[in-house]
Amino acid sequence: MSDTLQHLLREEAERIDVPPPPTNAIVTDGRRRRTVRRTQGLIALAASVAVVAGGLVGVSRLLADDARGSSPDPASDPSAPSATVVGGPLDVSGSGVGTQPFGTDADEVLAAVGARFGEPDLTLGPQRYVRIPGSDAWFEDADDPLSPSWQYPITSVTCWETLCLVFGGDAVDTLQLRGWELAQHRRWSGFEERKDLHSPDVRLVGTGIRLGDSWKRLHAAYPGTVVGGAEGASVAVHNTPWTGVFDGVAGWRLSGQWDYAHPTEAPAGAVVTRLSGGEGPQPGCC
């Protein structure tokens, strides 16, 4: 018998004034009959309480079973979070990519970005650059002093369509993140502007600027920026919030053709076609 049932029985016994079990024989039939009637009433009460208690226990168990049955199965619930899915845009800035600052080991960066965008579509290197007499820089081509060059002897580039990450270091096993480029003109595939390039969800930290945004929106986010001319009458963006990677034209660029008669005006309908940050091999000229 449960403690609750015993407590209820004691309270009811006190209420109807049931005497304690006699220690002596009951001497009168009248007292015996009254005791029997009271005892029978008490037994009936106990039975009623037991039924109610049993019913409550049954209902409680039924509700618990229903609750367990209605709980979604994490393995089959499409809304259940997955440890391998990374949501939201990838933020880039003048100090790094996502949560990885410049100088982070290449393997760590590749794993983080790969978890978000999948396998890259282009990987170049690692490639050893060479010295050219009279220069402290490392060049892609020993016979061409205008070929891309920078301060690291080993270079590797990994791209996810429009996003390319540049790694550099003194040895293949010590490559680190050095820069990023987000561009429709992917110079690592021959400077060809591919119309079929998919733009992963990559945005400038704090402002959300990305490829395809208008010059008006870019300028509103970074009021110090100005339009200028570049190689081949391309449209460059100057006074950017951080140093970009020069690709032979500009670190940041807009679509359209530069108008020398209105040198600081963006072409009508101009949109962002290139953004970059950090450092990377830069050509000596166009």
Domain range summary for the chain, segments of one domain joined by +: 3-69, 91-278
What pLDDT digit, counting tens, does each position of 159-191 carry? 999 999 999 999 999 999 999 999 988 888 765
Closest Cα to residue 97, out of 169, 166, 188? 166
Report helix, strand or coil for 105: strand
Closest Cα to residue 166, out of 111, 103, 236, 212? 103
Q: How far apart are CA 63 and CA 135, in angstroms?
A: 80
Q: What is the model's pTM?
A: 0.69
Q: How far apart are CA 50 and CA 71, in angstroms?
A: 31
Angle between helices 3-15 and 29-70 (to 10 degrees): 150
pLDDT for 88: 80
Two tokens, residue 27: 């001497």
- pLDDT under 50 in the chain at which residues? 5, 8-9, 13, 16, 18-85
Name the strand (E) or helix (H) holding 37: helix 29-70
pLDDT for 186: 83
